[in-house]
Amino acid sequence: MNAIVLLSGGLDSATALAMAAAEGRACHALSFDYGQRHAIELIAARRVAKALGAYSYRVVDLNLRGIGGSALTGNMPVPKGRTESEIAEGVPATYVPARNTLFLAYALALAEVTDTDEIVIGVNVLDSSGYPDCRPEFLAAMQKVAELGTAVGSLGRAPVIRAPLLSMTKAEIIRTGMALGVDYSLTHSCYDPAPSGAACRACDACLLRRRGFKAAGVPDPTWYI
């Protein structure tokens, strides 16, 4: 059983990789250089892939800056210091249009030619920003695309899209990862890091991360400014 694991370099996808590896999958990690302002996450992704024993690691160039429409790829500011209810409400400025659709489409193409059984994505709906492309309904629609839009799907062998973190809280994700030996100091979540790489402490990703470690009762190893 082999799997392509979408790896951003953040806390969630690192845990998803650890879980898939612990379940005996031969994991191939896949990251995207999409023009994200926090491209430093790609350095984190590479070290996470190595530390967790991924069979391969690949970065694909898929520049979304030409599309814009997001604080992560354009000139809009990254929201800071939002409250829990503000984070939970609506689609935030850090949503990148159709990002997960594109990432999954690419993973699908790669899975098809490499005869890969599963595509693992670390999305979750609790304790996360209100991104439409992290919801189970969206993933079910992409599964249909995998079945109907590929040659392997025509043969009844479409890759299965799995989201093992889907209904876990951030604290549960962290506890699960700790039990599997994930070194979270290798991961990077911040949307707006300082040039040094230190996390800003105030963007949604930092807030959710900090809250997660606190709720898990685990020391937060993140290097904050």
In whole angstroms, the minimum distance from the beta carbon of 58 to its own copies comes to: 8
Q: 97 or 197: whose CB is closer to its own copies?
A: 97
Q: How far is the CB of 211 from its own copies (least distance, A)?
A: 24
Least spacing, CB of residue 149 vs its own copies, in Å: 4
Q: Provide the edge-to-edge strand list for the sheet that holds 160-162.
A: 56-61, 26-33, 2-6, 118-120, 160-162
Beta bridge partners of 26: 2
Q: Which residues bind its own copies (CB under 8 A)?
A: 60-64, 66-69, 91, 95-102, 105-106, 108-110, 112-113, 132-133, 135, 137-138, 141-142, 144-145, 147-151, 153-154
Instruction: Say if residues 73 and 34 touch (Cβ distance below 8 Å).
Output: yes
Smallest distance, its own copies to C-beta of residue 113, A = 3
Whichever of 64 and 120 has its CB closer to its own copies, that residue is 64
Query: Which one, 172 or 204, has the nearer CB to its own copies?
Result: 204
Q: Which of 138/223 has CB closer to its own copies?
A: 138
In angstroms, give the least distance from the CB of 79 to its own copies. 15
Q: Which is nearer to its own copies, 95 or 184 (CB)?
A: 95
